Amino acid sequence: MDDLVESILDYVRSDYTDYAVMINGEWGSGKTHFWNHKVKNKIESLKLNGKKYTTIYMSLYGISNLEEISKKIFIETTQLMDKNLRKFMRSKGQGTIPEYAKTGIDMANLFGVTENGNRLDYGEFFSTDDKVLCFDDLERANVDVIDILGYINNFVEHDHIKTIIICNEKELATKLKSNNLEMKTFIATYLLDKQGELDKNDKPMVEKIQDKIEYVFDKANDYERIKEKLIGETFEYAPQFDYIINGILMRYENDSELIRFLRENTKLIINTFHKSGTRNLRILKHALNDFKKIYEMVNKSYPNTNYRVLQTMLIFTIAISFEIKAGKITKEKFVNIQDNEEYKAVLVSSRVLMDNRQFYIKEFDNNYYYNFKAEYRFFKFIEYYVRTRIFNMKLFKDNMETIINTVDMEKLPAYKRLLTEEYWKIPDDQFNGVIEEIEENVKAGELELIDIVKLYAYFSYFSKKNLIQLDLRTIKSEFFNGMNIASLKSKYCENVEEEMSKIAISDIGEDMNEILAHFNELNKQLLDKKYKEMAEEVFKCIPMRMENFYEMFDKECMEIPIFKYIDAHQIFQRISCASNEDVMIIKDKLQNRANKYTKQIEPEMKNIKLLKQIIDDYVKGKEITIKIVTLKEFSKDLGYILDKYKVSIFGKKEEVVSE
């Protein structure tokens, strides 16, 4: 890096130059920091013919026209000539004027508010042999790059002002190609059509259009031509990252515990940074700031957290920051992974089944955790914090409580070890104990139904490989009985296919079909149980809590045959006690629902028919009141709904829902 600084100083010292120099490097790699802390001070310490050099720095970020550049140069120059300002800056040891201060000075000058009232020193103003211009962020300007370089060329070629341009040429090339792409595509297509090239099949259409765009709008060649004329030397900025990262850590010196931890794990930070495949130090700074918050929260609420877990958190925070902020992935890539157990299950299934859908997660793990063993490698609260910028306390506490209970794999329940850890990682002296514990859990029906099904695949595989002494008939009997017991307190499994894909066994035998058939029957019963509980919860809101009823019905029951799961007489009793207005609202909701979700709610039609019959029996012979009229209207609409479920069989109308 010192060699690069010296090369730039050699350019500044040269008596006569008619070219600029360029510093090229990736975004976030520290080019601006390099200028401010390495180059600028060195230049301003030089003397030429008794004169000290003055640097004038301008960022072109967001510049929309060339006039703005002229204004920036004028403002920077006039401010540097203000004697009182220079005296104040020297007294404060200030090297540059803060941007917000420049705004105030500019406005003060505009309105004639000055301290010294000095006239403009034209001799100093016209002097160019002691000025060095620095233009930063060339690729981020909103002006055509060719125009900017032509503008800068005036200073270099005619005034011979030493000029340094800082940019990212890789992004500049992308910008030159993609600028006004829609317009370029339209014109290229038009020209191809006029030339009779569109109908020819000699090459793909996309390639034809791309070739024509490059031929007609070859800005890249224009750029190369003016660069050849303007830029005498291009220096590749390749920073010494290890040195810079150590410098970044110095900002945490005031936090003794954090800086000690970071210093101890500097190698870990540097390795993770290199594995990101970028040179973006800005993202690393943000990641370390995020980790500062994470480290403080963990130490405050869980002071005895395992050191290995803290190291893994550090790796994960840096890794997830680079993956999301460097544009490698969309933010949604990790959204559906809820916890470490699911993360590991994805890894197991992707490795064994070669599931391409999970290929990215596998690559992420292989890259950042290569040669770093840790059982807990995914932290949902950190992923959520980096992705949304919200530190979710509930996620944090849930994750930390799980970590405390699972960081030692030997303390994990045996069935979880088998489902989340590759079975071959279980030491031989622990394997039999794991199998015995799981067998007891299954017999007692202590596990979720879907977990018992997944465990059966392992036990069947182990039996075939003679890893366990149980024969398949005994295993199947134990698992069938265990499933029956477990179904009494298990929850309905909605994502069966996804759960089954997590089984880390590729050789699943046909005996699995019988287990799956039994599971599907039990799972269907659990669904009925779930809907019955939901129905009771929804209908008990009538008539006293109608707002709750409407909200639950609209959100949860539109596509569910909820009327199947509650007694029709109970429904009538509640509806008949509701206000007339609510009866009419419920009637309209049922009709709209039947129109929209006819097929989904078909199973409830038997109860709907019974409910209609109960209402008809109730209103028969009753004195006409508004309540009776509304109930009759309700029954009429139920009839309209039931008519939807009459189908033509052999040319006749037949009711599907007959009793």
Q: What's residue 56's pLDDT? A: 86
The whole-number average pLDDT for the span 522-545 is 94
Decide if pLDDT at 86 tops 70: no
Claim: this prediction has a pTM higher than 0.85: no
Contacts of 500 (CB under 8 A, 6+ apart): 453, 454
Please count the other Cβ atoms lying within 10 Å of the Cβ belonging to residue 27. Answer: 18
8 Å CB contact between 297 and 396: yes
Highest-scoring range by mean pLDDT, 37-46, 171-180, 318-327, 559-568: 559-568
Q: Judging by beta carbons within 10 Å of its beta carbon (0-12, 13-18, 19+), is residue 538 exposed, middle or buried?
A: buried
Q: In percent, how much of the chain has pLDDT > 90?
A: 38
Of 92-101, 293-302, 458-467, the poorest mean pLDDT is in: 92-101
Q: What's residue 614's pLDDT? A: 96
Highest-scoring range by mean pLDDT, 191-195, 360-364, 470-474, 629-633: 629-633
Question: What 3 state SS string does 124-168 have?
Answer: HHHCCCCEEEEEECHHHCCCCHHHHHHHHHHHHHHCCCEEEEEEC
8 Å CB contact between 454 and 498: no
Top pLDDT among 179 and 394 is at 394
The structure tokens listed for 477 are 């009997």
Top pLDDT among 166 and 658 is at 166
Q: In whole angstroms, what is the distance from residue 601 CA to residue 630 CA?
A: 24
Of 34-43, 182-191, 357-366, the poorest mean pLDDT is in: 182-191
Of 43-57, 298-312, 482-496, the poorest mean pLDDT is in: 43-57
Strand partners, 647: 654
* Residue 418 binned pLDDT confidence (cut-offs 50, 70, 90): confident
- pLDDT tens, 188-209? 676 677 677 777 777 777 777 7
Contacts of 185 (CB under 8 A, 6+ apart): 209, 213
- pLDDT tens, 575-599? 999 999 999 999 999 999 999 999 9
8 Å CB contact between 270 and 245: yes
Average pLDDT, the chain: 82
Q: What's residue 297's pLDDT? A: 95
The whole-number average pLDDT for the span 271-288 is 87
Q: What's residue 105's pLDDT? A: 52
CA-closest candidate to residue 442, choices 470, 409, 415, 407: 415
Local structure of 56: helix, strand or coil: strand
Q: In whole angstroms, what is the distance from residue 599 CA to residue 101 CA?
A: 69
Local structure of 653: helix, strand or coil: strand
Q: Could you give the residue ranges of the DSSP H alpha helices within 154-280?
A: 169-178, 181-194, 205-216, 219-230, 241-249, 256-264, 266-275
- pLDDT tens, 236-265? 887 666 667 777 888 898 999 999 999 889
Q: What is the DSSP letter of 358?
A: G
Number of alpha helices (DSSP H) and beta strands (DSSP E) in the chain: 32, 9
* Residue 115 binned pLDDT confidence (cut-offs 50, 70, 90): very low
Q: What's residue 97's pLDDT? A: 53
Local structure of 54: helix, strand or coil: strand
Please count the other Cβ atoms lying within 10 Å of the Cβ belonging to residue 116. Answer: 10
Decide if pLDDT at 106 tops 90: no
Top pLDDT among 55 and 572 is at 572
Q: In whole angstroms, what is the distance from residue 188 CA to residue 494 CA?
A: 52
The whole-number average pLDDT for the span 507-518 is 85
* Residue 497 binned pLDDT confidence (cut-offs 50, 70, 90): confident
φ, ψ dihedrals at 163, nearest 5°: -135, 130
Decide if pLDDT at 387 tops 60: yes
The whole-number average pLDDT for the span 122-149 is 76
Please state whether beta strands 54-59 and 131-136 pair in parallel, antiparallel, or not at all (unpaired): parallel
CA-closest candidate to residue 294, choices 371, 407, 403: 403
Q: What's residue 93's pLDDT? A: 59
Q: What's residue 404's pLDDT? A: 80
The whole-number average pLDDT for the span 316-332 is 80
Q: What's residue 546's pLDDT? A: 95
